[in-house]
């Protein structure tokens, strides 16, 4: 019988040694989460997996295995004739399924029979999941975090991007969560990842950080949209110094319109977001904001939301914190020159905070 190897240590170095990481699970399992860079070549699709599972539970394990074997052979043959048809003799694939069982082993036997240097993840996706959880738990407490805080529209996310362009270490939680962190924060044409996929993305970033250097991260609530920041990182953020970005309300309103151009042209999304604010502000106040949006007065609409909803919420949240900001950086506007100034101020503050 063709032989294949197993891999139990999952890190960037070990994973980089393979030409392709093959996720043999069903498309539904793959969509929930998968190893970074993995390609989904399912040996059973979602319906077939359900069919085999039903046979196992209601008829017999033997009938389920016989049916499953036929489906697996057919599906792997299709992959060999399509996605794998151009792979050379020295091709080195890594295969995994849910727990390193029959699906990945069946696939690996066939790939090894071709002559490819095939490897299976010992324990499958569950091994990867443990790697992610343990990695975040181990790494987060050792990070030297600088938490970039500030009221809505103060350019925190774009400031993080500016720092990343300068070679600084940044964790963009909103980017990882595909959400801009407010009632209007859902991103068009991009669904939020599952919690597991969010944590996989987060660990992929954390694993590449130099723990001897500071890491800039935006202040967030525990939830970014529906994605929850893992407790070890959340606790580290709460214990880390905050640098507050202060920008006038008018400039923040203008920046908000630049940040949410998709919202301006989508009356239904505005209406849905405003409906979620009714329990907090009442129908009369929300009707005032709705009227501004319907009249196309988006600058006044954005400024009203900032002054009457977001700023008071920010003030209430900060009152619950024991300590004030460790430093403050300020800008009159959020154009390129002022963003560069904010980045300079933030780096200066960070150097001082790291030394202290």
Q: Is 227 assigned a catalytic role? A: no
Contact 306, 332 (CB under 8 A): no
- In DSSP notation, 90-118 reads T--EEEE-SSSSHHHHHHHHHHHHHT---
- In DSSP notation, 259-326 reads H-HHHHT-HHHHHHHHHTTHHHHHHHHHHHHHHHHHTT-HHHHHHHHIIIIIHHHHHHHHHTSSS--S
Distance CA 234, CA 171 (A): 13
Dihedral sign for Cα 204, 207, 208, 210, please.
positive
The DSSP element (H or E) to which 350 belongs, if any, is helix 336-355
Distance CA 106, CA 86 (A): 21
Q: Which of 22, 95, 97, 148 is catalytic?
A: 97
Non-local CB neighbours of 27 within 8 Å, separated by 6+ positions: 40, 42, 45, 46
By C-alpha distance, which of 339, 313, 143, 163 is closest to 259?
339
Contact 44, 26 (CB under 8 A): yes
By C-alpha distance, which of 74, 67, 77, 127 is closest to 97?
127
Strand partners, 96: 23
Tokens of 224: 């970014």
* 50-to-64, 129, 223 alpha-carbon distances in Å: 11, 23, 33
Maximum Cα interatomic distance, the chain, rounded to a whole number of Å: 74
Distance CA 9, CA 123 (A): 11
**If you search the block for the tokens 């329990």, which residue do you land on?**
279
Going by the DSSP 8-state scheme, the letter that residue 193 receives in this structure is P
Distance CA 308, CA 293 (A): 15
Which residues form the catalytic set?
A: 97
């Amino acid at each position: 019988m063709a032989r294949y190897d197993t891999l139990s240590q999952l890190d960037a170095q070990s994973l980089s040694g393979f030409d392709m990481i093959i996720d043999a699970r069903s498309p539904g399992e793959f969509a929930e989460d998968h190893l970074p860079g993995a390609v989904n070549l399912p040996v059973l699709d979602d319906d077939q997996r359900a069919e085999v599972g039903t046979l196992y539970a209601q008829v017999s394990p033997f009938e389920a295995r016989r049916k499953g074997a036929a489906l697996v052979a057919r599906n792997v043959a299709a992959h060999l004739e399509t996605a794998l048809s151009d792979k050379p003799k020295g091709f080195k694939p890594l295969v995994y399924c849910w727990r390193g069982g029959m699906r990945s082993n069946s696939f690996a036997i066939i790939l090894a029979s071709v002559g490819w240097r095939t490897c299976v993840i010992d324990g499958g996706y569950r091994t990867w999941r443990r790697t992610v959880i343990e990695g975040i738990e181990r790494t987060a407490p050792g990070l030297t975090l600088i938490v970039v805080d500030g009221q809505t529209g103060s350019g925190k996310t774009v400031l993080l991007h500016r720092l990343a362009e300068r070679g600084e270490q940044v964790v963009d939680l909103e980017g990882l969560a595909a959400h801009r962190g407010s009632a209007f924060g859902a991103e068009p044409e991009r669904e939020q990842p599952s919690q597991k996929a969010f944590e996989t993305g987060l660990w992929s970033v954390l694993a590449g950080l130099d723990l001897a250097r500071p890491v800039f991260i935006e202040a967030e609530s525990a939830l970014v949209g529906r994605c929850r920041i893992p407790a070890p990182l959340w606790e580290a953020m709460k214990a880390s110094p905050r640098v507050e970005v202060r920008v006038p309300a008018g400039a923040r309103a203008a920046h908000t319109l630049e940040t949410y151009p998709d919202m301006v042209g989508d009356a239904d999304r505005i209406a849905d977001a405003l409906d979620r604010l009714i329990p907090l502000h009442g129908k009369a106040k929300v009707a005032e904001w709705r009227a501004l949006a319907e009249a196309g007065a988006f600058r006044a609409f954005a400024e009203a939301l900032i002054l009457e909803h977001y700023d008071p919420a920010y003030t209430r949240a900060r009152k619950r914190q024991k300590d004030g900001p460790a430093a403050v950086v300020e800008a009159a506007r959020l154009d390129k020159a002022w963003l560069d100034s904010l980045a300079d101020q933030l780096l200066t503050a960070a150097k001082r905070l790291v030394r202290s």
